[in-house]
Structure 1
């Protein structure tokens, strides 16, 4: 067994119960979880995932983090098996579609680093089991069901539902050139939107009629309902917070650097389509870390890493990426 260079790293390894061995036979796996060997392809998947994360890490740190990922993967599968969790036909179809889409984009790369489509299927299947465990513990009818109020509060924090008329502080000339409006024209355009917002609030104008009136300055057909997630790149950064703070069913104007928007926010209600469609997202936000801690505490498998084999897999991935440690 080898000792890492610093006392801090040694303590960390002892805490997570990972033992590093300097050598093994060529046919031996790189990793044992408990007494069970882990497929080298599975280990390679987690090594690659850690390598892809931002931040500079040494190869030893990457090996340790990847090992923890595999250990959690094994614990998820064990927990799902103990509870008799089986994926439904619709969940299997969703998994298959996800795998096909993923492999169409990344399959060539994963083949190069020695990871087959079947192995990625195992990883995705385990992630589906984790989702099933989340629902079994905290979903509707679960052992410790999250309250609808907490789910609704979470959804209102991370999502807004609205209709908008989008104006642009630019114009396209006859030759196709796009130019910025003058400050006066920007003010006049904003005033038009503010006037329309007031007329909507006063009941003098419908949202659809406002869209028609302002059509020379907005793009698209009749406004449709949009569900926007916080952090989405499709709208300016300040847009989400301003709409989230607005009262539902009240017309407001949001002015950004390049746009002006006339917006009506819709409320998210318990039992609505928006609530149902994004319920699982909220559940992950509310209970995801709690679930991970619960699964991690259910068993204490020791991880035994054969250093030379692990570094060989690591080096193969780095070489394929064309980079260095």
Structure 2
């Protein structure tokens, strides 16, 4: 059961933008998105029903000694999605936010898992807006509740492996994949990490990734000379799994494109190349069942540059479904 302390329903006032008209071909997202309450969720009908749900938490970032502010991102990203034009065949819903109440991140992750499981079982495709990258464990746990016997693969765009063990403060934004391994007991993790930076991960983390048979692609490999290699590696990973969960930590991108994140990087991925070399191929498999975007931090953004990129990624991915 969803604990009301950890959940707030959709705020329709978040969605607003210009109005061009009311004909079907003039509508923008703020005119057509429908609020739903995760506690009283109606059964969805139709194949492409997308449910936004925020994870308004940066407790994991705080514990990880990162820059606080990502908890504000779900509202900001929604606002910047408001003016996007409707996508034919897609119906949009806003299922509100899961919160981190009383600094209890562990319970917030469990509440998020319940919400994701409920959305999937009621016929929605979850699209989660973080919050910190502690979103990963709750999101994946919810998917596995819905698909316990399926081989679920995770493609993570991130500068970091997030395979660290918790410290004295508990789990944090860098422990999500370690938590998945611990809960499942599976020492062969179906996880492809894209954008990994040598400057952002210790030797121990690389050793842990290798022990778990994690596939990864370095940020320095993202160039046109490596296009065939990247596409083949992504294809090989996708071929071996039944369902795909995509998580995008915005710190995978260079700070030229994403300055407003919890841990900015002067070097990193470029949005167009990510789209052309990876996302098109991943979505073409027809295996994507759930998506999240994490680590947008409005406190440190410049002209909403990072939030706008997150909104554009949302739009482009939904066009690929």
**TM-score, scaled to structure 1:** 0.24
- Which structure has more relative contact order (CA 8 Å, sep 6+)? It is 1
Structure with bigger gyration radius: 1
Bigger fraction of residues in helix: 1
**TM-score, scaled to structure 2:** 0.25
